[in-house]
Structures are given as C-alpha cells and as structure tokens.
Structure 1
C-alpha cells in the first residue's frame, strides 16, 4: 500500500502563552493513547484510498461514532487527520501515512508496542529518579526483557516495532555503511533480520548471520526468505553476553548497546572482541546525543532508556571512551540524513 503523496508539515509555531505551551506538553499522555486507539483500530488503513464519513469509519472498526469523532477531531490538530465538520468526514493529514500498516515509514507497530509495554511503567518514573531502578522493573517486578520473553506475542510485537523503527529512522544509516572489502557480517542482536536483510539487498556479494536469542531470531528465516537473501544470510541463536559467532570481517549492532549500561556493554564488546580477528570492523547504528539530523530523537530515547532499561543514549565522548576502553579504535562517527549515526571502529 503506497503512502499518500504529501509533504511533511512545518513544526507548529510555539504558542506565545507559556501556560498554553505547557498545557500541550502535559496532555501528551492523552495524545499517545488516542494514537494507540486509531492505530489498533486501523483507522488510517481505512482512509488510504480517500476520505470517509465518520459513521462509516465507526461501522468498519466497531467503534462508537461520537467518541471516535472527538478523538479524530483532536488528532486533526496534530496533523494526523483532516476533518470536514460540515460533511462529518475525515481524511488523512500530512502525518497520517506514518500509521499505515505496510509502508516503509510506518510506525504503527511502535504505536502499539509503546502503549502496551511502556505506558504503564512510566507511572513509576518518580521512583526511578530516587532509586535508579528502571520504572519497568517497578511495574513488572523483573527486568523488561525478562518480562517480554514470557509471552511469544510480546516478543513478536516488540520485534515488529523495532523493525518498523529501523525502516523509518535507521534506513539512512544502514544505506551509508561502508562495507568495502567486507565479505561476511554478523548482525549482533539482529532480531528478525530486518537490518541485515536491508544491507544484504544493497550488497549482493555479502554473506551474513543474524544472531540473537533463540526465541527472538526464530522470526528471521521467514523475513530473509521474503527479502530473497536467505541463500546468503543465515541465523544463529545465542546470548551475546556469552559469545557471538566468530570469523566475520565485520560486526554490526543496530541500536543494541544503548539498551545496556557501560558494564554490560563492556561484556558485549568483549564477546565481539573474542570472536573477531584483529582488524575486523565494528559498525554501530546508534544515536549520538547532540548530533544527527534530529537530535531531539536521541533525547527522547534517552528518557525511554531511563524508564525501561539500564541503558542510555551517549555523546561522542561517551562512545569514544566505551569503545576505546574495550579493545576497539573509533575510526569515525558519521552523521546521516536521519536521526541515527554510524559509529565505525576497528578491533585492535
């Protein structure tokens, strides 16, 4: 399904009244839930071919017309929809296509996952600021990834959300990877294989392995088949704290190290260092605080890490210190057209 041909809206002009600006910020939790409702009901998919009356949308989704009308009116002020009050109809606005189900820049799966896994834990952020225990542990009674692994549906939803985020915000970074001389890549924490499949499609000579926990990487073979790279990219299950596949020319980790604190990152880097020969390359696709085309994304994700995990987003200095102290020489940090950066390093 193709996304509508519409240009991104200009950022809204900040209200001149500070109280009005603060009111918008304070209401953010309500907007998140409204976005979850329309994403879950697939309202945007219904409007892909053109406007509909609100009662038609309500019948198709099983939602009540009057509360739906009010939600749509609110989200129209956020550029997701365009409302015609006289006709009582609704159409997609400039941001609407980002919640379609099957587009390269869709964030629908992320909208579902964040509300189903992240929303409740953030009620405990006050506690986190006092004891430094992630809010998710206060909510679930265990580390987030342990809770996630208890239900296959949670794992599938999380993997889908991370895949959609990769397509939407990591695409430019993956396209900018300099794989000159690389014959084999191991994607450490590669989940369902979305990232390595995208890289392999652009580099037909490349071979690789998607490596992740067995219950996570189980989804990768089907995706690799659909991408027509399964003849060159295989999968392997394991724990990157215990070891990673050896002998590759390069190791790729997309948005992995930001999940973990420095001590845990050192353990992951140690396993990669053990598996890699001197001179092997390491590519990290991560945010770099204060850098990139959309530095606000890094700040938002840093808050996400604070609430959900032990990790954090890092500055250039942080990355240099982390990698340099664990057997890797940083060769460069490349900003891309998107919010992610590519950190290139060499195994010493």
Structure 2
C-alpha cells in the first residue's frame, strides 16, 4: 500500500486587509482587557514565575473561567504567555510593562487612561462637529478642572505622568543639556520626577518644581527620597498667572501640548516675564514628523483632540509659537525616543502694533 502524502503545510500569508482592520477596530476591547490585567496586578503576580489561571484568579478574586479567556486574548498580543495543556500563565515580551514599578512600566498609564480617557472618546464624532473636546462634553467641565476635584484621580494621574517620564520621555530628559545653568524652574513639574533626575545628574543645580498646589503636593516626599530636597524646592501656583521668577533656565516637560496656541502663548508670556535676560527655555515635547518612532506624536495628537484643547506641533509650529512669545528657537534635538528637546532663548520684548 502506497502511503498517502502528508497534507501540505499552508504557506503563511499576510492577513487580509479586513482582518487587519478588525484588529484595529477591536482595540477598545484590548485596552479594557489590559486595564483589567493591570488593576488585578496579574503581571506583578507572575514576577516570580508561572502560575496557573486558578491561582491567579484566586489571588485577584476573579472568576477563573473568565480570566482564562481574557489572558488568552492578551497572550495573542504578547503581554502574557499561556500554556493551555497546563493552564499556566507566564509573562510575555510585553508583560513587564504592566508590573508595578518595573523598568519600563506603564501600569499607571493603563489605569489612568481607562479611568479618565476611555468614556470621553465615545463622543469623538461630536467633537469633530462642534470643536468641543469630548472629555469636556462627557465630564461637564474641562478635563483638568474635573481631575482636580478628586484626590484619588490626582494620584492616579500623577502616577501615570511619572510612568511617562520614566519611559516615553526618558531619552529626551537624558538629552537635556544644562551647561552653565545654575537655577532651573520646572513648569508643570508634577511630583518632581524630572527635576529630581536632573538634580542628581547636576550636583550644583538648584531649582523649583512648580505646579498647581494640589498636584505639586506630592513632590516634597519624592525630592526627599531622591536626596535632593536641600537643593530643589516646590511652589504651588497657576502658570497662567505667574511662575517663579529669576531663574536662568525654564523647563516644561510635555506641558504646552495640552493647550491651544492662545493658551500656550499665555504660559510662555508668564515665563518670559519671570525669566532672567537671555534665559534658556527647554521644552520636552513631540515634534510631528520627528522622533523615534514618529507615530507616537500622531497618536498623542488624537489624545489631545479627544481630551483637551491642545495639540502636537510641527517644527514650524514651534518656531512660530515661540517667536510670538519673544523666544528664539535655537534647535530641535531628536533623541532615541519619541520626544524631542526644543531649545529656545528669551529675547527682548518686540513692540506690538
């Protein structure tokens, strides 16, 4: 008897366009699954090695038969590994990014985005008709006003911004050069993560973390923990009204993108009023079409569209905005990540007609 030939192995092909589109359309479901995994601390529970679905479910007080389906979905995205015969879960290539406090972790971002950004984005259609940010329509007030009404929301937001500073903005912060800078004010400095890192790098640097009073309240503890509280102070206030005066360098990490041009000009105006002559201005921001990978800027621009009045800007946008506020754009420094360092110098006030 002649043995039958084995069935041919199908040649892998690229997914059909409709399949690729379905994956994009299902993104909202995946983001919620990631939120559940982050909130349940699944990645934390796998830090010491594999565990069964039953063990994870018991530890997180979840239903094992439902958790299994969620983890199987996230395993297909590289977040976890799932051994079906043993019903056992491991960390996947992306799993460490959901571990609390791990290098590269964005767990706090997963919590914050799903608790603050998810529902408003259902109103994106209306935003493109009336120009009102979807978050403002959903929440009944501007996003930052709503955020400031609840200490728990503030803590979640501050944690997410800390994650962003340690991951997405890390390369840009490492690229910041402070040659000759003696005093620096970090505008919108939140919990002081950025200025603390710069102070550790520059032993002679003195400075101030400046933000809204309820936001900057978290900074003193962090500055003490980092051992820089003797050189770095904190101050609460509103950067639309005034900022600490007399520094020879002002830093704003991921701040101006939150605001439209008119609002950004008001902030820059307060910095210009406060800054010493020829002071330097350093902006850690995305620059559309630049950075690695450049698509981060367009994704963040979509976030701004739904949540705030701000936007991501091109190099020419930054040059124009800075010139209108009497700052000279010196250069845009690309880094190893998606953020750039926009360097500018304070110029004398231009007479306005």
- TM-score, with length taken from structure 1: 0.95
Shift of 1:15: 4.0
Aligned to 1:51: 50
Contact 1:212–1:238 (Cα < 8 Å) also in 2: yes
SS in 2 for 1:293: coil
CA RMSD of aligned residues (A): 1.0
Aligned to 1:76: 75
Aligned to 2:236: 237
SS in 1 for 2:215: helix
**Distance across 1 between alignment mates of 2:282 and 2:179:** 13
* Over 6 Å off, 4+ runs: none
**Distance across 1 between alignment mates of 2:55 and 2:162:** 32
Contact 1:104–1:164 (Cα < 8 Å) also in 2: no
Aligned to 1:3: none
Shift of 1:14: 9.5
Aligned to 2:345: 346
Q: Superposition pairs for residues 197-216 of structure 1, below 5 Å?
A: 197-216=196-215
Asked if 1:252 corresponds to 2:251, the answer is: yes
Asked if 1:283 corresponds to 2:282, the answer is: yes
SS in 1 for 2:247: coil
Instruction: Spell out, residue by residue over 1:19-61, the C-alpha distance to the aligned partner (whole angstroms, 9 max, x if none).
Output: 0000000000000000000000000000011111110111111
**Distance across 2 between alignment mates of 1:196 and 1:318:** 26
**Distance across 2 between alignment mates of 1:160 and 1:195:** 13
Aligned to 2:144: 145
Cα distance, 1:27–1:14 mapped onto 2, change above 3 Å: farther
Contact 1:260–1:311 (Cα < 8 Å) also in 2: yes
Q: Superposition pairs for residues 1-348 of structure 1, below 5 Å?
A: 15-348=14-347
**Distance across 2 between alignment mates of 1:32 and 1:14:** 27
**Distance across 2 between alignment mates of 1:64 and 1:248:** 56
Cα distance, 1:124–1:14 mapped onto 2, change above 3 Å: farther
Aligned length: 336
SS in 1 for 2:180: coil
**Distance across 1 between alignment mates of 2:255 and 2:310:** 10
Cα distance, 1:14–1:146 mapped onto 2, change above 3 Å: farther
Shift of 1:149: 0.7
**Distance across 1 between alignment mates of 2:124 and 2:187:** 30
Gaps of 5+ in 2: 1-11, 348-353
**Distance across 2 between alignment mates of 1:206 and 1:178:** 12
Contact 1:188–1:210 (Cα < 8 Å) also in 2: yes
- TM-score, with length taken from structure 2: 0.94
Contact 1:14–1:21 (Cα < 8 Å) also in 2: no
Instruction: Spell out, residue by residue over 1:110-165, the C-alpha distance to the aligned partner (whole angstroms, 9 max, x if none).
Output: 00000000000000001000000000011001000011011111111111101111
